[in-house]
């Protein structure tokens, strides 16, 4: 009893403290912003925030930012849903660290920002000016400048005096040209984002004076060449995705610390064997997807010994040289989706660290011998190929760590009995959209399996013995087959939670179909012609809450047609005198 009283007292004290804090915050808002209906002020920790909405003119904020209004600097000033088109000097008597605005600003007065020496971050969206205003270029202490979703058409010398700038974002504008000396004096800058603009050309060497530059994002422009752009050794990430680049053979020949390179969605057509020299030896992630590549030299990746992920998806590759990945001992993920590969052999022979291989949407007719020795492989995607037969030779004992295997949308009509026996840790197996007429015992005895997809096949029967020793199976999909009976089929699936048997030829569902303890939470069974007789009475008597009775719609007898089982009583089902399960 004393313990309960102490707990109650503690809860009351906590509630009092919480209410006190709210009163203090409310008082703060009242004393600072109550006179301005379009703004609110609040504190988070020791940081002070001012948020205004539906401002038509910044001059309306003169009273808010008057002298001595705030006892300490405003951490973030935000303006949303704004219509103001000019930016006057309203901040001369207040210290602000960060300004965020989505106003359609056309002009910024000459001294509008220069008085805010404390300003470190300026983020402007939806602006109307075509050149970076001089008022911004004079912010010598600014570290982070964002002008996104605006109408900038070019960058000349506006950034040269911003010696403290570290991060620059000019995304989604109409920038067509940038002068050679635009970044000449920005030695501290680390990140430049010029993505989603209309750049056709950039001067080689224009980033050379940015000695601390680490990231450049130029994706979604119209660049045809990037030669001579990325010579700064400090660079770690370059993105030139979705441009008009036809050749990169001379683009990365300088000493580099580059770790991430994305040149996907460019019309490269081909890459020379020297495109990635030993000076790129620190590269970890490489995107070459959607580049119309039909051929790769067998030594093209030899110098990239630290490469961990490579994406070659959606090209026109029909085969890969035997040695293509042999020097990449650190490779963890390979994406070859959407090519024309019909044969691979043991191309992954030296890649023992591989954890993920994506080979979907290709022309593979056999998977034998391809994945031998991949002890760390966890995910294998072979969807949408031309596989017809799965044998034990496809998935050897070396694939002991694989947890997800996808074989959907092939032409598989036969799976040998022990094809998956070695996959001791397999959790998810997809065999849907194939031509399986029988299971041949291929999925039993898989102790870790949790999800099994067998829908859209030609299965006529699933026997109890086919689903033995699957203690962890939770999700089973047998929809869109030709099943006429599933009696006793799921009797051994003690962990089953979700079952799909829709669009088959089933007429009844007996109690013996399921384990003694019925624990299935979801059963999808539409598209069958259910006979509503005494064999379904057990469903009406289930103690465990389920919508199973709602999902069964009677097809026969005639007097019960189109009625839900949930609308019937056991007496309605007892009029037939068949033997009931």
CB 201 within 8 A of CB 179: no
The mean pLDDT value of the chain amounts to 90
The residue among 274 and 26 whose pLDDT is bigger is 274
CB 277 within 8 A of CB 303: yes
**What is the predicted pLDDT for the residue at 19?**
38
pLDDT at 471 over 80: yes
pTM for this model (two decimals): 0.88
pLDDT at 425 over 80: yes
Question: Which of 38-47, 269-278, 365-374 has the weakest average pLDDT?
Answer: 38-47
Question: What burial letters (b/e) apply to 375-389, b meaning 16+ CB within 10 Å?
Answer: ebbbbbbbbbbebeb
For residue 160, give the 3-state DSSP assignment. coil
Question: Which of 304-318, 504-518, 566-580 has the weakest average pLDDT?
Answer: 566-580
The residue among 94 and 407 whose pLDDT is bigger is 407
CA contacts within 13 A on the Cβ side of 168: 27
CB 439 within 8 A of CB 414: no
Question: Which of 113-117, 202-206, 240-244 has the weakest average pLDDT?
Answer: 113-117
Question: What burial letters (b/e) apply to 297-325, b meaning 16+ CB within 10 Å?
Answer: eeebbbbbeebbbbbbbbbebebbeeebb
Dihedral angle computed from the Cα positions of residues 480, 486, 489 and 491, in that order, rounded to the nearest 10 degrees: 120
**What is the predicted pLDDT for the residue at 31?**
52
Q: How far is C-alpha 27 from the geometric centre of its chain's CA atoms?
A: 43
Using pLDDT thresholds of 50, 70 and 90, give the confidence band for residue 33: confident
The residue among 403 and 544 whose pLDDT is bigger is 403
Helix (H) or strand (E) holding 11: helix 2-33
Using pLDDT thresholds of 50, 70 and 90, give the confidence band for residue 357: very high
Q: How many angstroms separate the Cα of 481 from the Cα of each of 378, 435, 478?
A: 29, 10, 7
| pLDDT > 70: percent of the chain | 92
**What is the predicted pLDDT for the residue at 70?**
73
pLDDT at 67 over 80: no
pLDDT at 273 over 70: yes
Using pLDDT thresholds of 50, 70 and 90, give the confidence band for residue 576: low
Question: Which of 90-94, 172-176, 311-315, 482-486 has the weakest average pLDDT?
Answer: 90-94
pLDDT at 451 over 70: yes
Question: Which of 66-70, 429-433, 502-506, 547-551 has the weakest average pLDDT?
Answer: 66-70
Tokens 């971050």: give the residue.
121
Q: Pull the structure tokens for residue 373.
A: 């020795």
For 476-496, the pLDDT digits (tens) are 999 999 999 999 999 999 999
Q: How many angstroms separate the Cα of 429 from the Cα of each of 216, 399, 442, 454, 455?
A: 40, 14, 11, 9, 12
Q: Tally Cβ neighbours within 10 Å of residue 341.
A: 20
| pLDDT > 90: percent of the chain | 75
- The closest alpha carbon to 261, from 275, 244, 274, 272, belongs to 275
Q: Pull the structure tokens for residue 148.
A: 């996104």
pLDDT at 13 over 60: no
For 88-132, the pLDDT digits (tens) are 888 877 889 999 999 999 999 888 887 788 899 999 999 999 999
Alpha-carbon distance of 396 to 497, in angstroms, equals: 31
Ramachandran quadrant class, 290 (left: phi over 0; alpha: psi -120 to 50; beta: rest): left
Residues 6+ apart with CB under 8 A from 52: 36, 38, 39, 40, 61, 64, 77, 78, 79, 80, 82
Using pLDDT thresholds of 50, 70 and 90, give the confidence band for residue 59: confident
pLDDT at 12 over 50: no
Mean predicted confidence (pLDDT) in 310-318:
97
CB 355 within 8 A of CB 334: no
**What is the predicted pLDDT for the residue at 579?**
62
For 498-538, the pLDDT digits (tens) are 999 999 999 999 999 999 899 899 999 999 999 999 999 99
Using pLDDT thresholds of 50, 70 and 90, give the confidence band for residue 415: very high
Mean predicted confidence (pLDDT) in 537-559:
89
Q: Among 34-43, 70-79, 178-187, 235-244, which range has the highest average pLDDT?
A: 235-244
- The closest alpha carbon to 354, from 374, 327, 326, 383, belongs to 374
Dihedral angle computed from the Cα positions of residues 54, 60, 63 and 64, in that order, rounded to the nearest 10 degrees: 30
pLDDT at 78 over 80: yes
Alpha-carbon distance of 91 to 65, in angstroms, equals: 6
For 320-343, the pLDDT digits (tens) are 999 999 999 999 999 999 999 999
């Amino acid at each position: 009893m004393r313990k309960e009283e102490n707990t109650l007292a503690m809860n009351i004290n906590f509630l009092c403290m919480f209410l006190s804090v709210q009163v203090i915050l409310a008082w703060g808002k009242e004393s600072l912003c109550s006179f301005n209906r379009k703004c609110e002020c609040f504190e988070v920790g020791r940081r002070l925030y001012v948020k205004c909405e539906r401002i038509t003119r910044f001059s309306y904020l003169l009273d808010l930012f008057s002298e001595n209004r705030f006892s300490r600097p405003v951490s973030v000033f935000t303006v949303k849903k704004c219509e103001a088109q000019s930016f006057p000097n309203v901040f001369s008597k207040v210290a602000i660290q960060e300004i965020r605005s989505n106003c359609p600003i056309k002009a910024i007065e000459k001294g509008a920002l220069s008085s805010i020496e404390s300003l470190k971050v300026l983020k402007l969206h939806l602006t109307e000016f075509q050149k970076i205003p001089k008022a911004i270029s004079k912010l010598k202490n600014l570290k982070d400048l964002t002008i996104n979703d605006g109408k900038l058409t070019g960058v000349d010398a506006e950034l040269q005096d911003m010696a403290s700038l570290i991060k620059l974002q000019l995304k989604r504008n109409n920038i067509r040209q940038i002068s050679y000396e635009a970044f000449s004096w920005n030695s501290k800058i680390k990140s430049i984002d010029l993505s989603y603009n209309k750049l056709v050309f950039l001067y080689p060497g224009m980033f050379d004076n940015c000695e601390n530059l680490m990231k450049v994002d130029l994706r979604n422009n119209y660049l045809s060449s990037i030669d001579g752009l990325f010579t700064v050794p400090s660079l770690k990430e370059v993105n030139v995705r979705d441009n008009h680049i036809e050749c990169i053979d001379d683009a990365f020949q300088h000493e580099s610390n580059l770790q991430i390179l994305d040149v996907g969605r460019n019309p490269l057509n081909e890459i020379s064997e020297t495109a990635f020299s030993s000076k790129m030896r620190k590269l970890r992630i490489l995107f070459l997807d959607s580049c119309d590549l039909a051929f790769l030299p067998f030594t093209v990746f030899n110098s990239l010994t630290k490469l961990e992920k490579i994406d070659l998806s959606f090209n026109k590759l029909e085969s890969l040289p035997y040695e293509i990945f042999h020097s990449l001992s650190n490779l963890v993920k390979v994406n070859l989706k959407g090519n024309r590969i019909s044969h691979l052999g043991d191309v992954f022979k030296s890649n023992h660290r591989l954890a993920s291989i994506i080979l979907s949407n290709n022309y593979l007719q056999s998977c034998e011998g391809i994945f031998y020795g991949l002890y760390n492989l966890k995910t294998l995607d072979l969807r949408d190929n031309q596989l017809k037969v799965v044998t034990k030779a496809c998935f050897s004992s070396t694939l002991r760590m694989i947890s997800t295997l996808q074989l959907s949308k092939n032409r598989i009509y036969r799976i040998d009995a022990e094809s998956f026996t070695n996959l001791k840790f397999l959790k998810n197996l997809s065999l849907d959209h194939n031509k399986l007429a029988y299971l041949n015992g291929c999925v039993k005895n898989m102790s870790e399996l949790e999800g099994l997809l067998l829908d859209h096949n030609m299965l006529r029967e699933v026997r109890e013995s086919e689903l033995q020793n699957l203690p962890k199976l939770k999700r089973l999909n047998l929809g869109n087959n030709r099943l006429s009976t599933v009696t006793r089929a799921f009797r051994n699936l003690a962990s089953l939670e979700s079952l799909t048997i829709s669009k088959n030829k089933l007429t009844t569902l007996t109690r013996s179909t399921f384990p003694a303890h019925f624990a299935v939470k979801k059963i999808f069974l539409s598209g069958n012609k259910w006979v509503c007789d005494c064999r379904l009475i057990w469903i009406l008597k289930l103690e465990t809450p389920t919508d199973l009775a709602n999902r069964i719609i009677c097809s026969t007898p005639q007097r019960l047609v189109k009625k839900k089982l949930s609308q019937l009583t056991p007496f309605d089902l007892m009029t037939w005198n068949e033997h009931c399960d």
